[in-house]
Amino acid sequence: MPLFKDLLQSADWKAEKHVPVIDAPDKAKKGEIVKISATVGKEIAHPNKTEHHICWVAIYFHPEGEKFPYQIGRVEFSSHGSSVQGPDTSSVYTHPEASLSFKTDKAGVIYAASYCNIHGLWQGSKDLKVS
């Protein structure tokens, strides 16, 4: 049985972008609010249809010297075009982007994870320096 960590993918699959792209500053001051967004399909749109979509994005921060990361937040995407008329009949489609803020006194790594209902778990990361 594979370990859960081995199920996280970090490469693009074919021409679609599944990896969450993290937009955050490279540096922050201690105690300063850091704004983060994680977007799936930033450069090449990911399909957002009833049968193929991103279900959620979660953002974590792992401070240097600490054993575990902290979950900053998680956003679930619920509208993928389905309605009482059937699949892809609604005019409402969510866009897989999560925006969150946090503050820290330590440098570390920001991680984002996303889940595609067809292609599984994906991860992205970005270093954050703190002074």
Residues designated catalytic: 16-18, 46, 52, 116, 119
How far apart CA 47 and CA 116 sit, in angstroms, is 10
Residues present in the chain in total: 131
Strand-strand pairing, 33-39 and 27-28? unpaired
Nearest-angstrom CA–CA distance, 73 and 92: 24
Alpha-carbon distances of 113 from 7, 32, 87, 121, rounded to whole Å = 11, 24, 26, 7
3-state secondary structure of 7: helix
Which sign, positive or negative, has the C-alpha torsion 88, 48, 93, 79?
Answer: positive
